[in-house]
Amino acid sequence: MERVYLDNAATTPLDKDVMAEMVSVMSTYYGNPSSIHAQGREVRTLIEKARKTVAGLLNATPAEIFFTSGGTEADNTAIRCGIEAYGIRHAITSKIEHHAVEHTLNQLLKQGLIDKLSFVDIDQKGNISYAHLEELLKNNSRSFVSLMHANNELGTLTDIERVGALCEQYDAIYHCDTVQTMGHYVHDVRKLKAHFIVCAAHKLHGPKGVGFLFVNHNIKIPPMIFGGAQERNMRGGTENVYGIVGLAKALEIAYAEMESHRQHVQELKDYLKDKLSREIPDVQFNGETAADKSLYTILNVSFPAMDMADMLLFNLDISGISASGGSACSSGSNIGSHVLSGIKSDPDRPSVRFSFSKYNTKAELDYVVEKVKEIVAKNVAV
């Protein structure tokens, strides 16, 4: 069998129709979108068409969509500029947020740009306590809340409409990292009550190096990147035209295929979970796994304690299986997953995040289980 790619939460293969759209633009249009001549105006039209496409899918206005280099920049802009714009001194997050959020808020605290950083309680499956969130909102000054839609390692979903309603009740600014769920769920920003949501195109079969930040029209923030009038004075720098076109096409395809994609991938997740439960003694699953509580593209598996546990991913890789031990942004770090630590997962049990896409098959999963069984049988401590 060819290599099995099950690290789609880290990045996804580029959709062939997205590639075709980008190649067509690359081979035809080369003007600078800030130029006023014909070639520049042509390219500016492509960007604004893409912006209109994205806005239409989210039930937003084009003026609320700002293209970025990806999810990390979008998160940083929302957090830094949102806190600055409204003079907010108190922020609320959780200890299992993506590092683009966690590190940014910790840096603002270190720099004295906020006075207090509170962490909402979470349970052992990664669910936040809505009662504790309300308590934090009620007992502090106006807050900036950053809580993600689906955890990128566990897949556990947060009821972001409920969070949005609480933030509205207590006049908080709400930023939601939707990187893992964009294109997998419908995001209607008129219902969501979030001030910021974000996207990274490469998580939904689009190109790397491009994303967007939605900024609710009810608020105004300053730019984070200066140097030009691009993105309506909100982000200096010549736009990544080909990436923007690819992002819009990828999101359009994702919305058109959403239901069939969900059904196919949910079946794969359920199939792998069931087969691992039957074939591997003492296997466990981190985070929520029920369909209504978990992102259908992620299954985080906790294996029995074993010799050479830190070599599990390496052995999978040697067997032709690409998976992850946590967030890909932490790859190469000798520090364990902050998410698994946050839910108090047993540190002696190695964990693997399998994440699926529309391109995966049950035959691939059969191969994965076969190889996992071999590796576990050889290395489980007696």
pTM: 0.95
Neighbours of 270 (CB within 10 A): 14
Provide the CATH topology of domain 16-256.
Answer: Aspartate Aminotransferase; domain 2 (3.40.640)
Superfamily of domain 4-12+257-379: Aspartate Aminotransferase, domain 1 (3.90.1150.10)
CA triplet 304, 308, 310: central angle to 5 degrees?
85
Q: In this predicted model, what pLDDT tens digit does every residue of 36-91 receive, in sequence order?
A: 999 999 999 999 999 999 999 999 999 999 999 999 999 999 999 999 999 999 99
**What confidence tens digit (pLDDT) does each residue in 224-275 have?**
999 999 999 999 999 999 999 999 999 999 999 999 999 999 999 999 999 9
Domains 4-12+257-379 and 16-256 share a fold: no
Active-site residue (options: 81, 176, 199, 329): 329
For the chain, the domains span 4-12+257-379, 16-256
Q: What is the pLDDT of residue 183?
A: 98
Question: How confident is the model over 130-167, as pLDDT tens digits?
Answer: 999 999 999 999 999 999 999 999 999 999 999 999 99
In the structure, what pLDDT confidence band is assigned to residue 305 with cuts at 50, 70 and 90?
Answer: confident
The share of the chain scoring above pLDDT 70, in percent, equals 96
Confidence of residue 338 (pLDDT cuts 50, 70, 90): very high
In the chain, what percentage of residues exceed pLDDT 90? Answer: 90
pLDDT for residue 381? 58
Does the structure show a pLDDT above 80 at 380? no
Q: What is the pLDDT of residue 214?
A: 98
What does each C-alpha distance from 156 to 48, 172, 263, 290 come to in angstroms? 35, 23, 18, 9
Over residues 208-219, the mean pLDDT reads 98
Active site residue 329: yes
Question: pLDDT tens digits for 178-210?
Answer: 999 999 999 999 999 999 999 999 999 999 999
